[in-house]
């Protein structure tokens, strides 16, 4: 069984998050550091995702085989909220809350696409997977 390589996933997410941050910065009222933003977003994602994921695993038996997708879907909500908070704090997008929520949606979509691509490539690209048990 292969699991995502945390370093590879963090590296890919760091670049993807920096790209979203760069675009949000161009349309923002403050000039926050894109690289610092990306690093904080990656760390918060790991910390919050791990804590909530472990908490949700308590329900794995009740949900049966579908627990993974259910957990992932539930984690989309805090993912969106983290994106919205960080985009608002770092870049203060022109357009206020609607623009913040739009950028949070873009960031959430980028996060999700990166996850799905890495999961798809686990078996084919050795760099993305690490053996487990």
Q: Mean pLDDT per 10-residue run, the chain (133 residues)?
A: 84 96 92 93 90 75 70 87 96 93 96 90 80 73
Q: Is residue 19 a part of any domain in this protein?
A: yes
Cβ atoms of 93 and 27 within 8 Å: the answer is yes
Task: Check residue 112 and give its pLDDT.
Answer: 93
Neighbours of 48 (CB within 10 A): 15
Phi/psi of residue 96, each to 5°?
65, -140
Give me the pLDDT at residue 114, please: 93
| Domain of 41, in residue numbers | 7-124
| Residue carrying structure tokens 């370093």 | 7
Q: What is the pLDDT of residue 14?
A: 97
Phi, psi of 125 (to 5 degrees): -120, 105
The pTM of this model reads 0.88
Contact 82, 41 (CB under 8 A): yes
Residues ≥6 apart with Cβ < 8 Å to 15: 38
Are 76 and 108 in contact by the 8 Å Cβ rule? The answer is yes
Q: What is the pLDDT of residue 19?
A: 96
Is 111 contained in some domain? yes
DSSP string for 52-93: HHHHHGGGHHHHGGGHHHHHHHHHHHHHHHHHHHHHHHHH-B
CA–CA dist 56, 92 (Å, integer):
32
According to the model, what pLDDT value does residue 60 have?
67
How many domains does the chain fold into?
A: 1
């Amino acid at each position: 069984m292969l699991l995502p390589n945390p370093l590879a996933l963090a590296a890919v997410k760091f670049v993807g998050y920096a790209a979203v941050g760069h675009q949000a910065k161009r349309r923002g009222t403050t000039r926050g550091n894109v690289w610092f933003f990306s690093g904080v977003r990656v760390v918060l994602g790991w910390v919050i995702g791990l804590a909530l994921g472990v908490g949700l695993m308590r329900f794995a038996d009740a949900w049966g085989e579908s627990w993974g997708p259910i957990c992932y879907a539930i984690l989309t909500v805090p993912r969106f909220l983290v994106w919205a908070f960080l985009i608002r704090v770092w870049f203060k997008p022109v357009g206020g809350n609607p623009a913040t929520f739009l950028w949070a949606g873009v960031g959430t979509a980028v996060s999700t696409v990166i996850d799905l691509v890495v999961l798809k490539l686990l078996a084919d690209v050795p760099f993305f997977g690490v053996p487990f048990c």
